């Protein structure tokens, strides 16, 4: 059942309040972020329909937006998503090798999820961290100046967290 908690519904109301009367459609991006975070890290059709009903807009208006922006996942992803930047400035500092290393270590290619459902590797374009390259986004934060050792440590950290939360 797709339904925000009362607390999250309050957050939705707070966001809708950012915009003038009748302009609640503007809240679609922030509310989709909230929905993706709450409902398993991706946007199913049911989730998008729910967002449409909350904002009193047509489902198609939500699909149009959700398919345009690269931060929305339209299919299930792993518990931990490694979003590694591959654009020029990061490439100059070895992002290609980091992407390859993560792929080999987890046995997946960019765009794939590991068999245990823990990890998804995604290549992304410039994240405005070019001076701290190579880098990736993991959850809310950036991990910068990546090396193989740092990648190892991050993967261990995720595995430990996953165990603790089980």
**How many Å is the Cα radius of gyration of the chain?**
18
Residue 70 contact, options other proteins, ligand FES, none, Cβ 5-8 Å cut-off depending on partner type = other proteins
Question: HSE (CB half, 13 Å, CA atoms) of 90?
Answer: 27
Residue 114 contact, options other proteins, ligand FES, none, Cβ 5-8 Å cut-off depending on partner type = none
131 Cβ contact partners less than 8 Å away, ≥ 6 residues apart: 89
Helix (H, G, I), strand (E, B) or coil at 120: strand
Binding region for ligand FES (CB under 6 A)? 85, 87-90, 126-130, 133, 135
Q: What is the DSSP letter of 85?
A: E
Q: Show the site string, 75-114: x = touches other proteins by CB under 8 A, - = not.
A: -----------xxxx-xxx---------------------
Return d(Cα 83, Cα 137) in angstroms, integer: 5
Collect contacts of 155-160 with beta carbons under 8 A, ≥24 apart: 155/105, 155/106, 155/119, 158/79, 158/80, 158/118, 158/119, 159/118
Comparison of 77 and 130: residue with beta carbon closer to ligand FES: 130
Comparison of 62 and 99: residue with beta carbon closer to ligand FES: 99
CB of 19 to other proteins, least distance (A): 8
Say whether residue 69 binds other proteins (CB under 8 A): yes
Among 8, 25, 79, 150, binds other proteins (CB under 8 A): 25
How many residues interact with other proteins (rule CB under 8 A)?
A: 41
Return d(Cα 148, Cα 156) in angstroms, integer: 12
Comparison of 30 and 103: residue with beta carbon closer to ligand FES: 103
- What tokens appear for 14 in the block? 């707070």
Q: List interacting residues with other proteins (CB under 8 A).
A: 18, 20, 23, 25-30, 32-33, 55, 57, 61, 64-65, 68-72, 86-89, 91-93, 124-133, 137, 140-141
């Amino acid at each position: 059942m797709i339904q925000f908690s009362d607390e999250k519904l309050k957050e939705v109301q707070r966001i809708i309040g950012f915009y003038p009367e009748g302009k609640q459609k503007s809240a679609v991006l922030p509310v989709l972020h909230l929905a993706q975070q709450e409902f398993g890290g991706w946007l199913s059709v049911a989730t998008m329909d729910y967002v449409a009903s909350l904002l009193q807009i047509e489902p198609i208006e939500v699909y149009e937006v959700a398919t345009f922006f690269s931060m929305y996942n339209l299919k299930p992803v792993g518990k931990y998503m490694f979003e590694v930047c591959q654009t020029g400035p990061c490439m100059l500092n070895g992002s290609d090798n980091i992407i390859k290393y993560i792929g080999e270590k987890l046995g997946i290619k960019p765009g794939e999820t590991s068999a245990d459902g823990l990890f998804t590797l995604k290549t992304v374009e410039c994240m405005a961290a070019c001076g701290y390259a190579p880098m990736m986004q993991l959850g809310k934060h950036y991990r910068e100046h990546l090396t193989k050792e740092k990648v190892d440590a991050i993967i261990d950290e995720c595995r430990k967290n996953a165990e603790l939360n089980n």
